Amino acid sequence: MADGLDREDGRVTRGWIGVEPNDLSPELAELLASRPQRVIITGVLQNGPAAQAGIHPATSSPAW
């Protein structure tokens, strides 16, 4: 945490990726041939880091 701490004003800058994740239900995981401990990306913020990396809604990702 000390790496993200601005020593001048004591604020912490947190990273963000610009996605809206939702739990992947067991039924949907089966349909997508995926593991249920993943999330599904239901939204991507325009011009955010995820959009710039080519992430699109309906992408399945490991739960974090």
Kindly report, residue by residue over 5-32, the tens digit of the pLDDT: 566 777 777 788 999 988 878 888 788 7
- Residue 36 tokens read as 């249920």
36 pLDDT exceeds 80? no
51 pLDDT exceeds 90? yes
The neighbour count for residue 44, using CB atoms within 10 Å, is 22
Contact 43, 58 (CB under 8 A): no
Average pLDDT score over residue span 41-56:
92
Q: What is the pTM for the complete model shown?
A: 0.58
55 pLDDT exceeds 70? yes
4 pLDDT exceeds 60? no
